[in-house]
Chain A
Amino acid sequence: MKASDTLVALGLQFVGLSLVAFGGANAVIPEIHRQAVDVHHWMTDQDFAALFAIAQAAPGPNFLVTTLVGWKAAGLAGALVATAAMCGPSCVLTFWVAKAWDRYRHTNWRAALGAGLAPVTVGFVFSSAFVLARAADTGWRLAIVTGSSAALAYFTKFNPLWFLMAAGALGVAGIVR
């Protein structure tokens, strides 16, 4: 595939995802994974898990995995195209809707929209977790790390960065692999 073709594919993929990413980037991880690993073969399952981990460990919004997918697929230009495509359409939509929001905020259909989208979105975020865990957990010890980090993040208020650092350290020490 030519470099420009890859950029076009990246752009089209993320422009589309931008407008269906209800619940943010975490909800569309399965689709990003499907496109990047299964359809376009930009990376392996393990690359995807690693890039997602890097995006989580870095400061900033969690959609940055799209920037990294773009980077892996087509270098710096890919990173910029993927970022712009993921944010552009939803930002323009948000800008215009925000202006009209005050008129509609208390209407019945606005509440129904939010209430109806929420469970579907949650199902997608669970799907993201499933796709990521399947890519990351290549052994039972890693599955225990995933389970522990899920439990700690759910039941405690510690900054999740600590879990990431601890898990990275376990990896370097050769305890999980």
Chain B
Amino acid sequence: MTKTPTTWELFVAFFIVAISGFGGTLPFARRMLVDRRQWLTPEDFTETLSLCQTLPGPNIVNMSIVIGSRMRGWRGSIAGFLGLVGAPVIIVTTLGALYSLWGNLPQVRAALVGLGAAASGLVIATAARMAEPLLRNRPRAAAPFMLTGFAAVALLRLPLPYVLLTLAPISIGLSWWLRSRERARV
């Protein structure tokens, strides 16, 4: 492990992750934090990621908060966060302004129609990647909640927070019960 980075170094590292992160930032974060800067071991990275995935909010944003905090306290968190979101927010806001100006031009419309179709496909692939290990390892505990969540939000169009607050406690309770039973057996 190298010496503790400064707040400026944290800002720069997350800035580079953000602007090189086309189509998903996590792989770039791993390359930066583990391979290039060596602030984290691979095990640290996986462990930190699981924390960030357990909590609500964008995973990579949570990661900038956790790493920043571990290195330099709250100042580090702010540095990591600003490095990560500053440039992308400016870039998409500029793109949004261009969309307001030229979004109705036939050529731009046509490009965005194609882009939108491909972008929704990427989300299908993301969902499938997330579903695959769950369906392989514990299909009977996972599939009913996946299907109910999908039916309630996508098909019945119920407000997502209520669906979450209903389904999550049942699913967590079931996981808890299954784990306790497994432990009791060992």
Interface residues of B in 13-54 (CB under 8 A from A): 18-25, 47, 50-54
Smallest Cβ-Cβ distance to B52: which chain A residue? A94
Q: How close is B79's CB to chain A, nearest CB, in angstroms?
A: 13
Cβ-defined contact, B130 with A122, below 8 A: yes
Are B134 and A118 neighbours in the complex by a CB distance under 8 Å? yes
Closest to A16 in B: B161
Contact sample, A vs B, 12 pairs, CB 8 Å cutoff: A16-B161, A24-B59, A31-B153, A46-B116, A59-B19, A97-B55, A111-B175, A111-B179, A120-B168, A130-B154, A159-B23, A164-B119
Minimum distance in angstroms from B153 CB to a CB of chain A? 4
Once the chains bind, are A163 and B122 in contact (CB under 8 Å)?
A: yes
Complex contact A168–B168 (CB within 8 A): no
A79 at the interface (CB under 8 A from B): yes
Check A64–B134 contact: CB distance below 8 A.
no
Q: What 6 A-B pairs are tightest by C-beta distance, nearest first?
A: A90-B57, A123-B149, A60-B88, A171-B114, A149-B121, A116-B172
Q: Hey, which chain B residues are within 8 Å of A132, CB to CB?
A: 116, 119-120, 123
Residues of B within 8 A of A105 (CB): 47, 51
Q: Are A127 and B110 in contact (CB under 8 A)?
A: no
Asked whether B142 lies within 8 Å of A118 as measured between CB atoms, the reply is: yes
Least CB distance from B28 to A in Å reads 9
Of A67, A94, A111, which one neighbours B89 at CB under 8 angstroms?
A: A67
Least CB distance, B99 to chain A, in whole angstroms = 6
Q: Is A6 an interface residue (CB 8 A)?
A: no
CB distance from A156 to the nearest CB of B (A): 10
Per-residue CB contact flags for chain B residues 115-137 toward chain A (1 = under 8 Å, else 0) read 11111111111111111001000
Nearest CB to that of A143 among chain B residues? B117
In this assembly, does B7 line the interface, its C-beta being within 8 Å of a C-beta of chain A?
A: no
Structural contact, A150 and B125, CB atoms closer than 8 A: yes
Chain A residues in 8 Å Cβ range of B130: 23, 118, 121-122, 125
Q: Find chain B residues with CB under 8 A from A93 CB.
A: 55-57
Kindly list chain B residues whose C-beta atoms are within 8 Å of the C-beta of A29. 123
Assign chain B's interface to a size class: 35 or more
Asked whether any CB of chain A lies closer than 8 Å to the CB of B10, the reply is no
- Say whether chain A's binding surface is mostly helix, strand, loop, or mixed: helix
Interface residues of A in 101-138 (CB under 8 A from B): 101, 105, 108-133, 135-138
Q: Which residues of B contact A166 (CB under 8 A)?
A: 118
In the bound complex, how far is the Cα of B119 from the Cα of A166, in angstroms?
11
Q: B180 at interface (Cβ–Cβ under 8 A)? A: yes
B99 touches A22 (CB 8 A): no
Q: A55 at interface (Cβ–Cβ under 8 A)?
A: yes
Contact A145 B149 (CB under 8 A): no
Taken together as a complex, chains A and B put the C-alpha atoms of A160 and B122 apart, in Å, by: 7
Q: In whole angstroms, what is the CA distance A16 to B57 when docked?
A: 11
B117–A167 touching, CB < 8 Å? yes
Q: Which residue of A lies closest to B61 (CB)?
A: A87
Whether B61 and A108, one on each chain, are in contact in the complex, defined by CB atoms closer than 8 angstroms, is no
A68 to B89, CA, bound (A): 9
Additional A-B contact list (19), CB under 8 Å, known A31-B161, A176-B114: A17-B161, A23-B130, A53-B115, A72-B96, A79-B96, A87-B81, A91-B62, A95-B66, A105-B47, A116-B175, A116-B176, A129-B123, A143-B117, A150-B121, A153-B125, A163-B121, A164-B118, A164-B122, A176-B113
